Amino acid sequence: MEVVNNLKNRLEEFRKLHGLTQEELAEKLKVSRQTIGSLENGRYNPSILLAFKIANLFGVSIEEIFIYEGENDNDDEK
């Protein structure tokens, strides 16, 4: 039984709001473009450090970008 943490984010929205491409955002955060893509798709949850970096870059709090929606068991979804 695997516990899945539901963490949604508004990264794509904030990125587009600031007129940045994935490459540009990746360059500013010093991560790969694939990481930005995975974050936007919700496949990957960032470390707390990266979350802070992203929030600082956009000048907002972490909670405004990352929304924690609790956890659920993977088996229950089947």
Partner 1 sequence: MMMKNKLLNNCLFELLGMTLFLIGVILMKNNAEKYIYGLFIGLGLGIFIIFARKIEASVVWKKYPDIKQHLEIEINDERNTIIRDKAGFKTNLIMNYLLLVLTIMFAFMGVSVYVVLSMVALIITQGVLFIIFSNQYEQKL
**Contact stretch for partner 1 (CB under 8 A) within 8-16, 47-55, 56-64, 66-74:** 47-55
Start-end of H helices in 1-78: 11-17, 22-29, 33-41, 48-58, 62-65, 74-77
61 binds partner 1 (CB under 8 A): no
Smallest distance, Å, CB 16 to partner 1? 21
CA–CA separation, 76 vs 78, rounded Å?
5
CA–CA separation, 28 vs 41, rounded Å?
19
Q: In the set 10, 12, 20, 44, which binds partner 1 (CB under 8 A)?
A: 44
For partner 1, the binding residues (CB under 8 A) are: 26, 30-32, 34-35, 38, 44, 46-47, 49-50
